[in-house]
Structure formats: C-alpha cells, structure tokens
Structure 1
Amino acid sequence: MKLVSLFDDFLKETVNLNKTRIDLLEASIPALKSFVRESDWKPKVRTFVEQGSWAHETIIRPVDNKEFDADLLVVVDPVEGWTAAEYVESLGRAFSGSKTYEDKTKTWDYCVTITYAGDRKIDLAPCVVGRRWEGSMEVCNRKGGFELTAPVEYTEWMKERNAYSGNNSFRKVTRLVKYLRDIKETFTCPSVLLTTLLGNQIQWFEKGNDAFADVPTTLKTLMGRLDDWLRMYPSRPAVTNPKLPSEDFSQLFGTDEQYSNFRTVIARYRKWIDEAHATEGRQESIKAWQKVFGSEFAKGDLVKVAADGAMESTGNSLVARFLDSTAAHLNGIVDMVRDYGISILPASFARPAHMQTPRWRSVSQPADIAVSAEWRSASHAQVGRPVVAGQMLKPQGGLYFRATLVDGTPVPPEYYVEWRITNTGAVAMSAKAGRGGFEVPNKADGRGETLAYRGIHMAEAFVVRRSDDVLVGLSKPFYVVIE
C-alpha cells in the first residue's frame, strides 16, 4: 500500500526540518549579510545567493539532533591580483576579528562557517563573478584556485524536476532518500551527487505522469530507475553537473569500493520499496515500510511494527535472538546490520558487561568529540581510504582512528586522548579478546587497530585535561563491522 497520509506525517514529524529552526536560520541571515557589507572586507559585494539543500528545499532534520547546514554564496567583483585563497582567508579574518562572531567562526578550503552551537551552521563561500568572462561565476578553493560554478542554474534545474512531479513529490522523495542515507548509515553519497542522480531519473515529457503522482509512487519510480541505471555501470560512471558540463560529481562517490557498495545498497532498498508498495493490508504495509525507514515511520499509528514484522509491543528487538548477555553475540547479528544498518542495534549494545567505566572525574556536560577512521592495508602504510561507522569490512588490514573536535580541529595540546576499544561477538569473546579497557594512542595522533574478528566492535575517544585529569569530551561509539 502507498499509505500517502502516513508519508505526509512522516515527513512533517521526522524528516523535514521543523519550522522553528528554519525561522531561526532565516532570522540570522540578514545580520550576516549586513556584517559582510559593512566590514572592511575588500571585495565589492554584488549579492548573496542561497545554494545547496537550503536553496533546493531538500534540507532535512539531522538524525543525530546536531546542527544542520545551510550554504550562502557571497557574490563579489574580482579584486585585481588576488588569489582564490585571499578571498576565503580574508573573509575568515573579518568574522574571527569580530566580537559577535569570533567564537563561532571556522575557515575551511571553500568557505567560512558560522556555527550556532546545537542548532545550525551557515557556510559563507566567496564567489567571484566576471573574472574569466562576463557573467562567469567561480568559487574559491584555498588549495586549488578558482573553480567554475553554476549555483543559480543548478537550483533552477532542481525546481524544474520538482515541477515535473505531482504535489512536490520529487522534492519530498529527495528528502526521504537523504534521511534513509543518514539513518541507515549503510552507504555514503554527498547530497549534491545524490540529488543529481535522482534528478536525472525524471524528464520534462513525464510531467503529469502517474509514475510521479504521489510521494510513495515517486519514491518507487526514482529508486527503481536509479537501480536500473547503476546496474549498467559496474565501474564508477561520470555524473555530470547538468548545468556545468565541465564538472563531474562522480569523484564524490569516494573509492571504487564505496561506489560498489552504493550500487549494492540501492538495489537492496529498491527491492524493499517495491515490496512495501505492493503489500496489501494496512498493518502489513506498515511493517514493510518500517523495514525501509525504521520504526519512526507511522510512529503515531495505533499499530507499531518492528522492521522484521514483529509487533513492537512485545518488547522484542529484531536482533534480540542474536544477542548474548556476555557479548558473545551470534554471527548472524553482522548480517542483520548489513541489511538494516547500525541503527537497528539497541542502546544497550554499546555497554557490554566487560566494558570498563571511565576512571576520570568529569565535567557536567562533556563536549562532543568526532572520530574518523581510515582503512590501511598494513600497520606501516601511510595512506588508506576513509571508512564510515557501520561500514562492512573484511578481516584484513586495519583501521587508523583519529579524534578531533566536531569542526575538525585537532585536540589542543593541553589535553590528551585515550581510547576505549571494545570487541563483541562469539569469535572475539571465545578468543578472550573482548578488551573494553582504556588505551593510549599508538600512532602519531591516533590509534591503529587490526581487523580480525567477525562481529560488531566499538572505538571511543575520551579527551582529558592534563592539568587536573578531568574528562572534558567524549565521542559516540564508532562501530566497526567485520564480516
């Protein structure tokens, strides 16, 4: 069943960015514009242009309740003799030198980010107009120079795609697929690439077509077509910016392995969506759609159904039959995470009995710490490929973990990092390799771990102040899933 009204509720209550936060975003923009215009920043400002998910109206509520991102281009005339880096760095200095924004400012390669903690981040990116030819627009890369861009044209292309569908269903489906990406954590695909891939699946001559009549039908159509298209390309294909042919978004797939994983996961979700769309009966249909989107779908309905079809009122998790109180979980739990994503694990999974508690005194509200990981073929390897939490990995090579502040800034030298590495699963526990204690970095600024035991394991970073040994920051568990 299509359950159109339940999709409307799901979008309003769970997926869409709520109106209060949108109002806060829009209220802060005039002040930022005024600051730039009135500052001593040298470039002459022509205008400001919204871009990205904000401009496309596909922005979604962050699934981790953290800040959402909005992008604003600062369109300026060229300054004679300036490099791309000068535009970005000087704008960063203007904000960081202000009493209002000094604690909110971070300068990146392309933009200056103003962070309103716990709510929103606004990226202001200098965009030089007319430097190459009349009307040309270029964003500024501190490390790579000027790069052509077409933000206004791309936004219009997006609006055209939405107009071809009924009831804004293309825009809504784009939000749903972004939510699916974020909640499942089974694939990576930056929003501009994902949006382009979906937009390429609808054409002007299909306006009014029944295949785009409502949200669930549009979802079925677009995911089916995307899967069919991906099947034609075992290797990563070009994904051209529809309004700037010189720009290829395919590099955003990451590695060949990440592209291959993307193909596999889209095929899986296409199958689930087709099944849910075809399922008869309200209760059974809710079960099928919850398999796709999790228990938040139809959460206000009288009948709540877990992803495997078991009633949630029984209190049994989909993965309960694989869990063991000693953390010697059955191997089948790995397959469940592969199919449903890491979010299927109960909260108690992250606190097995053999895990040690922190020994430090703690501030009342420790700061969030970000953990990133990179797969390397051997411990002496200097380069590798990025890995996301919950990604399926083979038992070979190892991971190099690094802890930073949430904005990517290194941990300051007056603090030190310790790691809690915890293994679970029957294989690790039978080998007496559950670990769960605290360990110091064994690399220059991180920790290396080999991949050996089938199961779901965790890496956590704890940041401690050197002067008094007080815990001031900690990360969420970074889940490592080994086949």
Structure 2
Amino acid sequence: MNHPSLFNDFLRDTVNLNETRVKDLETSIEAIKEAVRTSDWKPHLNGWMAHGSWAHKTIIKPVDGREFDADLIVFVEHVDDWSAATYIDELYQAFRANATYKDKVNRSSHCVTISYANDKKIDVAPCLTNRTNALEVCNRSTDRFEQTEPKQYTEWLVKKNGYSGNNSFRKVTRLVKYVRDIKERFTCSSVLLTTLLGYIISDDDQGSAAFADTATALKTVFGRLDDELQKHTTKPKVTNPFLQSEDFATAWTEDQYQNFRDRIHTYREWIDDAYNEQDRSESIAKWRRVFGDEFAKGVAIEEGKSVSKALVASVRTTLAEASQFTGDLVDAIKRFGARVLPASFDRKSYMEAPKWKTSGQNISVIVRADLHRNQYGTQKVREVQALEPLEPGYWLQFKAVTSTGLPFDPSDYKVMWRVTNTDEAAASHNELRGNFEKPESDNSRWESLKYRGVHLVEAFVIRKRDDRIVGKSPAFRVMIE
C-alpha cells in the first residue's frame, strides 16, 4: 500500500528540515555574506550561490541531534599571484579577524567552515570566474584550481524534479538520505547519491504513473537504481553531467560500492514488499522496516492502545447478545469466547517486520507456554493454553517445537521471538513492544505477566548456516486479567 497521508506526515514531521531551522539558516547565510563583504579579504566579489543539498532542496533534518551542513559558493575574480590555497587561507584569516566567527571557523581542502554548536555547519567555498574560461574552485590540499559547473548541475537537478512531478525527485532523495543516516548501513556522499538518482529520471517520466505519489516514486526509483547497479559488478564512474572529468564516485572504495549495491538491492525488495502488501497493518509494519520506528509512529501507537475499544465496539454491533456489553476485550473473550478476535488481530502495524530472508522451507512451528511463579523457576505450575485467563505477577516460559513436539537444536537453529503487547495498560507504560527478542541458550523465552490485555508471542526459526527463516509459528495469544 502507498499510504500517501502517512508519507506526507513522515516527510513533514521527521525527514524535512523544519521551517524554523531553514529561516535560521537563511539569517546566518546573510550574516556571513555581510561579514565577507566588510572584511579585508582581497578578491572582488561577483556574487553568491547556494550549493549542495540546500540549493537542491534535498536537505534533511539531521538524525540524533547531529548538525546539518549547508554549502555557499562565493564567486570572485582572480587575484594576481594568488595560488589556490591562498584563497582558502586568506578567507579563513578574514573570519578569524571577525569577533563573531573567530572561534567558529575551520578550513578544509575546498572551503572555510563556520560551525554553530549542535546546530549546523556552513561551508563557504571560493569559486573563480575569470582566471580561465571556466569556473574553478580552489583545492587547498593540492594547491590547484579545479574546474566546476555548479550552476548547470543545479539546473539539471531542477529539471529532473520537474520531470518526476509532484516534487517527487526531491522527496525521494530526502527519504533515501534519511535511510542512509538513520540506518548507517551504507556509505554514499550526498552529491554522489543525488547524481545517481538524477541519472535514472528522464523527460519521458513527465506525467507518468510511476511517480503518481511518494511511495510509488520511491518504488520506481529504487527499482531503477537497483537494476542499474546490478549491471556494474565493480564501481562505475558517476560523473557530473556537465563536467565529465569530475567523477563523484572517486572517494568510494570498492568495498563501499559493493556494500551500497547489496544494500540497495535489499531495500528494493523491502520497498516492493511494503508497497505490494494489501493488509494495512502489515504494510505499515513493512514500511517501518525500511524507515524505522518513526514512520507512522502515532498511528502505530494508537492502534495498539485502542485495540480493546475498537474490538468491543465491533462486538456490540456484530453479536446480538453483546449489544449491551460494557466490559473490555478481556471481559468480552471470557464471556463470548475467542470468536470476538478477528484473524487480523495477530497483525499489528508496530510489529517489526523480519529482516531475514525465507529459505523456501516451511517447517511447522508450535509455541508452548509453561507457567512459573518465578523467572527461571525449575518447577512449572502447569502448561497454559492460548487465551487462558492468567493473573499478573507470574512468568511464562515459551518454547518452540516441531509438530512432533521436538525442540529445535540450538547448534543448528536460532529461535527469534516477536513479543507484541496490546491495549491501554501496556501503551501507558510505553510497552507495546513488537520487536524481535533474543532467546535463552536453549532457544526458549521468558516473559513476565504484567499488563491487562491480549498479547502475542511468535517464534521465528532461523537456520544458522545461512541465516534464513525455515519456519514461523502462529501467534500464541496470552490473555492477562
């Protein structure tokens, strides 16, 4: 499913740089320009240009409170006898002489950087307009001038965004950057990533259904990118479309490229799976596998919290004998039986989607639960059945067995447990869970009985030699009074 409203909310609330920080950035940029204009820096100024993610409108909110970067080009005329390094060094000294920036400035190979503590960094890069017939940036490390085409490159990306329609290219680029930064599973600079994505969009895409909404555009772009990467078993060149000598992939190592290629292939599979899934809760869970728990976070929490209210309301309208019922879900099950639970009850949008691939096997897996007074107790009280009313304060030991009752050998198999709580009591303690949990040494899992409601425990059997799922149990429904 494509969930257009959820994607819009996710972009607005989590991915996009918020408007307050954008305005603050613009204020800082103007102050930097004024500082350079009034400084003793010798070059004649010919103008300014936003560059990079800021100019391309693909900048995202930094994750985990990190700083974000913005790039600013200052166009200047050549100063006789100045080398490439001199432009950077003298601009650095000009900022050092300014009381506002003297403790915020650093220099690197191509720019001077102004750092604002725990907020942002602004890179100011000199670009010569008249030393030769081409625009040139300054490489302080090699003390050489390097040809560049920032204006045409930015215009190229603007065209690509126009071809995709609905601002799709920019939205997709932001989402891919978010995945890169939040997951930290692959290395790819922003300019390299943006260029790769730009190359796979053409004027033929104008008005295409392949870019009908954000999720569809994301599916299209990842599919095309994966197809292109699979053609290249070794690192390809990724050149500036207006400057063939500029290869954005130069800094990539071969290992980094191979990892990027593999990760994009995996994400393509996950995105296709989430997009094609027709069950709403399952689809949301699969999109959360791609983007993490911030995607549809509010929707997922509300779903878990309101389980009892939603189902009891349904019971009142579907069961004639329940029209006057006033209890909660636990009361409803005790009175009317398991029929009040729909099959969809076992699927929740906040459940973590499996990251392991399936093996093609489908071994039958059954969950058994033993009641204990204490964790790791040697004497069980009894074996319990699904939806058997249980008092809080006890412990359950869960075991995964085959259809013949045999356990899975820990030397060959690992049993990962997905434990999902529901209803208001668990939600109020921020304990809806839904993630995968590691087993004990014997592949069992101990859980305490805490929150009133109906909760779900599932066993996923992973074959160790290839890390693939060979079997999954039905959900064992635990009911706590």
TM-score, structure 2 normalization: 0.65
**Which residue of structure 1 aligns with residue 426 of structure 2?**
none
SS at match of 1:251: coil
* Alignment of structure 1 residues 214-293 onto 2, 5 Å: 214-253=213-252, 255-293=253-291
Question: Is residue 2:144 matched to residue 1:159?
Answer: no
- How many angstroms apart in 1 are the aligned matches of 2:434 and 2:96? 48
Change in Cα spacing, 1:24 to 1:323, as seen in structure 2 (3 Å) is: farther
Change in Cα spacing, 1:91 to 1:323, as seen in structure 2 (3 Å) is: farther
**Which residue of structure 2 aligns with residue 121 of structure 1?**
121
Shift of 1:123: 0.6
Question: Is residue 2:44 matched to residue 1:44?
Answer: yes
Question: Is residue 2:294 matched to residue 1:296?
Answer: yes
- How many angstroms apart in 2 are the aligned matches of 1:104 and 1:294? 34
- How many angstroms apart in 2 are the aligned matches of 1:50 and 1:323? 55
- How many angstroms apart in 2 are the aligned matches of 1:164 and 1:107? 38
**Which residue of structure 1 aligns with residue 92 of structure 2?**
92
* Alignment of structure 1 residues 5-404 onto 2, 5 Å: 5-133=5-133, 136-144=134-142, 145-253=144-252, 255-301=253-299, 302-303=302-303, 304-308=349-353, 311=420, 313=422, 315-316=432-433, 318-322=435-439
**Residue type of the alignment partner of 1:33:** K
Contact 1:164–1:207 (CA<8 Å) still a contact in 2? Answer: yes
CA deviation string 1:252-299 (max 9, x = no partner): 32x111111111100000000001110002111101100111110001
Contact 1:72–1:124 (CA<8 Å) still a contact in 2? Answer: yes
Change in Cα spacing, 1:248 to 1:267, as seen in structure 2 (3 Å) is: same
**Which residue of structure 1 aligns with residue 391 of structure 2?**
none
CA deviation string 1:302-325 (max 9, x = no partner): 33513227647564463422589x
Change in Cα spacing, 1:307 to 1:92, as seen in structure 2 (3 Å) is: same
Contact 1:305–1:312 (CA<8 Å) still a contact in 2? Answer: no
- How many angstroms apart in 1 are the aligned matches of 2:205 and 2:15? 27
Contact 1:211–1:221 (CA<8 Å) still a contact in 2? Answer: yes
SS at match of 1:78: coil
Contact 1:294–1:306 (CA<8 Å) still a contact in 2? Answer: no
SS at match of 1:226: helix
Indicate the RMSD between aligned Cα atoms, in angstroms. 2.0
The answer to which of 122-131 and 295-304 deviates more is 295-304
Contact 1:198–1:222 (CA<8 Å) still a contact in 2? Answer: yes
SS at match of 2:95: helix
Contact 1:291–1:306 (CA<8 Å) still a contact in 2? Answer: no
Q: Is the radius of gyration larger for structure 1 or structure 2?
A: 2
Identity %: 53
TM-score, structure 1 normalization: 0.65
**Residue type of the alignment partner of 2:145:** F
- How many angstroms apart in 2 are the aligned matches of 1:182 and 1:220? 19
- How many angstroms apart in 2 are the aligned matches of 1:182 and 1:67? 12
Change in Cα spacing, 1:188 to 1:77, as seen in structure 2 (3 Å) is: same
**Residue type of the alignment partner of 2:181:** D
- How many angstroms apart in 2 are the aligned matches of 1:86 and 1:103? 21
- How many angstroms apart in 2 are the aligned matches of 1:27 and 1:67? 17
**Which residue of structure 1 aligns with residue 340 of structure 2?**
none
- How many angstroms apart in 2 are the aligned matches of 1:11 and 1:266? 21
- How many angstroms apart in 2 are the aligned matches of 1:28 and 1:92? 17
- How many angstroms apart in 2 are the aligned matches of 1:114 and 1:55? 18
- How many angstroms apart in 2 are the aligned matches of 1:294 and 1:6? 14
Contact 2:106–2:113 (CA<8 Å) still a contact in 1? Answer: yes
Contact 1:223–1:270 (CA<8 Å) still a contact in 2? Answer: yes
CA deviation string 1:175-199 (max 9, x = no partner): 0000000111110000000001111
CA deviation string 1:94-138 (max 9, x = no partner): 0012111111111111111111111111110111112111xx211
**Residue type of the alignment partner of 2:205:** E
